[in-house]
């Protein structure tokens, strides 16, 4: 009987990789956040933090990645990479990973429409594990004892801990897969914290040779439209008013929009359930599978506050919850809670806000003296 766990079996080396994301040359904020998270992981294991960026005419991006923490940046610049497309991007990233003498220990992507499109392709190609929408990342040891697959038994000193809420349950699950590198994970924009840009940081920039194949062009991009001005500026709003299933009907959002209008720089959010029901477009969804937001004020109307919603908004400055059910979980982490019927409370809120705005509320105070 071997008393000592066998450490020699798996001794992962390899760096921490961030697959950068840009849309039409704009580096996406999630990439900087991933560099922040990846830096911590790399430092913990004493490895390098590397990044790959794909696109066309993107020479200004590599230095920025270094400023935000990358030690080494690989640049794949090619006209066919101007727009994101699954197959060419997948080709370049897979070829790059195969070209490395040692696969990276960890590979991180943003949990964006691009990252969620690309990451599973790479994971499937390398038969490696991928954890979606992580809310925390860490490095730590793990001892696998299950005898289902004897080849997996052992103590693994440096594992990627990919932590995410388990859906429909108020649990956080720590998911890991140390048997194969790269250990992959995606995280939502807004979850991780970027480092402060340091223009003095030194790093290496390496240009990759791009070799695409005819079958990579089975799908062509006809048009990419970004409606930056339009749309829902959820992540930039100071005040977010969100509606949930407690509204009862899609029309309830009329009231939510009206309440939002009372505030400076506001936006309307929604819980997952009502988006699923089609009451309001997906772009409004706050939470694990929607957007992560940190407004100064978050007003949750008829939202129960399930864990998936909470992870998307719990870092808001002032959380106000309105819900009929005094036992709703949202009251456990809101700062102010009003127990009552939203159809009575919201019109009253609007009414009193309007009084304040028109100065009448102030007058009343003055005249009381």
Partner 1 sequence: MKQLSARIEYDLLLVGGSPSNLTLAYHFLELAKESGKEFTVAILEKGKEFGSHIMSGAVSNPHVLKKVWPDYKEKGFPIEAECNESNFSVLGLKKKWDMPHYMYPKSLDKTGYLVLTLSYVTNWMANQVMEKAKEVPNVQIDPYTGFSAHSVVFENGRVAGVSVSENPKSEDDYVYARVTCFGDKGFISRDVIDHFKLRDCPQIWSVGVKEVWECTESYQGKVWHTLGWPLLDGTFGGGFVYGMKDNKLTIGMVISLDSPDPNMNPQHKLQEYKKHPWIQAMIKGGKLLKYGAALLPEGGYYSLPKKFYVPGAVLLGDALGVLDVKNLAGIDRAMECGYVAAEVLYDALLKGDTSDEALAPYQSRLNDSFVIKESYQNRYFRWAFMENPRLLSEYVPELAKSIDKSTPWIGMAKIGFKNPLRAPLDGVRSLRLIEGKLDIGPVKYQPDFKHIIPSFVPPKYDEPPYERATIYSRADAVFFASTKYHEGNEHIDEFNADICVKCIQSYGGLGKVTPCVADCTAEVHRIDVIGDLKKHGMSLENCIHCRTCEVVCPESNLRVKPTSQGSGPDFIGL
Partner 2 sequence: MLITSENGNFWGGGSERRMARSYDIFVLVKQVPDQGSKAGLNPDGTIDRARAKRMLNPFDRYALQAALHTKKHYGGTVTAISMGPPPAVEVLLEALEHGVDRGFLLSDRRLAASDTLATAYALFKTVTYVGRFDLIFCGLQTTDGDTAQVGPQLAERLDLPQVTYCEDFSIEDNKVNARRIIEGGYQKVVSEMPLLVTVANSYHPLEYKSFRGTWRVQRLQRNPDELKKYIQTVDLDIIGADPERCGLKGSPTIVAATEKVGELGGSCQLHQGHSAPELVEDLLATSNIKDFLATAK
Per rule CB under 8 A, is residue 131 in the interface with partner 2? yes
CA distance 118 to 94: 11
CB closer to partner 2, 13 vs 336: 336
Query: Is the dihedral angle over the CA atoms 6, 7, 11, 16 positive or is it negative?
Result: positive
Ramachandran angles phi, psi of 282, nearest 5°: -55, -35
108 in Cβ contact with 16 (< 8 Å): yes
Q: Residue 120 touches which of partner 2, partner 1, none (CB < 5 to 8 A by kind)?
A: partner 2
CB closer to partner 2, 48 vs 86: 86
**Least CB distance to partner 1 at residue 262 (A):** 21
Structure tokens at 288: 């694990």
CA distance 59 to 22: 12
CB closer to partner 2, 257 vs 282: 282
Which residues within the stretch 339-368 sit at the binding site for partner 1 (CB under 8 A)? 341, 343-344
Q: Residue 289 touches which of partner 2, partner 1, none (CB < 5 to 8 A by kind)?
A: partner 2
Q: Which residues contact 294 (CB under 8 A, 6 or more apart)?
A: 190, 313, 315, 316, 317
Which residues within the stretch 46-105 sit at the binding site for partner 2 (CB under 8 A)? 83-87, 90
CB closer to partner 2, 43 vs 341: 341
Q: Residue 248 touches which of partner 2, partner 1, none (CB < 5 to 8 A by kind)?
A: partner 1
CA distance 125 to 108: 16
**Least CB distance to partner 1 at residue 301 (A):** 13
Which residues within the stretch 210-269 sit at the binding site for partner 1 (CB under 8 A)? 248-249, 251
Torsion of CA 186, 189, 193, 195, to 10 degrees: 90
Per rule CB under 8 A, is residue 211 in the interface with partner 2? no
**Least CB distance to partner 2 at residue 76 (A):** 19
Q: Which residues contact 213 (CB under 8 A, 6 or more apart)?
A: 91
CB closer to partner 1, 341 vs 363: 341
First-last CA distance in the chain = 86
**Least CB distance to partner 2 at residue 306 (A):** 9
Strands, E assignment, 69-153 = 72-77, 106-110, 130-134, 136-144
CB closer to partner 2, 171 vs 193: 171
Residue 124 CB coordination number (10 Å):
11
**Least CB distance to partner 1 at residue 356 (A):** 23
Quick note: the x/- pattern for partner 1 over 262-301, rule CB under 8 A, is: ----------------------------------------
Radius of gyration over every alpha carbon of the chain, rounded to an integer in angstroms: 24
CA distance 257 to 270: 11
Which residues within the stretch 222-261 sit at the binding site for partner 2 (CB under 8 A)? 222-228, 231, 238-239, 261
Per rule CB under 8 A, is residue 180 in the interface with partner 2? yes
Per rule CB under 8 A, is residue 43 in the interface with partner 2? no
Q: Which of 89, 96, 179, 253 binds partner 2 (CB under 8 A)?
A: 179
Which residues within the stretch 277-316 sit at the binding site for partner 2 (CB under 8 A)? 278, 281-282, 288-289, 296-297, 307, 310, 314
Pairing verdict, β 318-323 and 297-301: parallel
CA distance 212 to 92: 8
Per rule CB under 8 A, is residue 44 in the interface with partner 2? no
**Least CB distance to partner 1 at residue 345 (A):** 11
CA distance 262 to 265: 10
Applying CB under 8 A, the residues found at the interface with partner 1 are 248-249, 251, 341, 343-344
């Amino acid at each position: 009987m071997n008393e000592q766990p066998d450490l020699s079996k798996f001794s992962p080396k390899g760096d921490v990789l961030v697959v950068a994301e840009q849309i039409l040359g704009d580096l996406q904020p999630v990439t900087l956040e991933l560099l922040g998270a990846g830096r911590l992981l790399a430092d913990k294991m004493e490895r390098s933090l590397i990044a790959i960026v794909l696109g066309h005419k993107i020479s200004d991006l590599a230095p920025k990645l270094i400023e935000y923490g990358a030690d080494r940046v690989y640049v794949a610049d090619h006209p066919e990479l101007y727009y994101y497309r699954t197959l060419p991007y997948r080709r370049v990233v897979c070829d790059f990973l195969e070209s490395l003498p040692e696969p990276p220990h960890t590979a991180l992507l943003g949990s964006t429409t691009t990252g969620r499109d690309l990451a599973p392709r790479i994971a499937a190609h390398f038969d490696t594990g991928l954890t979606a929408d992580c809310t925390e990342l860490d490095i730590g040891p793990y001892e696998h004892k299950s005898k289902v697959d004897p080849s997996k038994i052992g103590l693994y000193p440096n594992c990627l801990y990919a932590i995410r809420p388990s859906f429909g349950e108020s649990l956080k699950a720590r998911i890991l897969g140390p048997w194969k590198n790269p250990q992959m994970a995606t995280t939502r924009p807004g979850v991780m914290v970027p480092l402060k840009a340091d223009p003095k940081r030194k790093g290496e920039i390496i240009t990759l040779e791009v070799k695409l194949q005819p079958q990579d062009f089975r799908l062509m991009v006809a048009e990419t439209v970004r409606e930056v001005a339009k749309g829902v500026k959820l992540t930039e709003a100071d005040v977010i008013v969100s509606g949930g299933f407690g509204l009862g009907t899609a029309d309830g959002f009329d009231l939510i929009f009206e309440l939002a209008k009372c505030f400076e720089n506001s936006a309307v959010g929604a819980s997952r359930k009502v988006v699923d029901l089609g009451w309001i477009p997906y772009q409004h969804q706050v939470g694990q599978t929607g957007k992560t937001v940190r407004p100064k004020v978050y007003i949750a109307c008829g939202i129960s506050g399930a864990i998936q919603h909470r992870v998307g908004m719990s870092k808001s400055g002032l959380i106000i919850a309105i819900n009929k059910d005094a036992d709703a979980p949202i009251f456990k982490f809101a700062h102010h809670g009003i127990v009552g019927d939203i159809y009575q409370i919201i019109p009253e809120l609007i009414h009193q806000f309007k009084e304040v705005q028109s100065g009448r509320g102030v007058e009343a105070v003055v005249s009381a003296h």
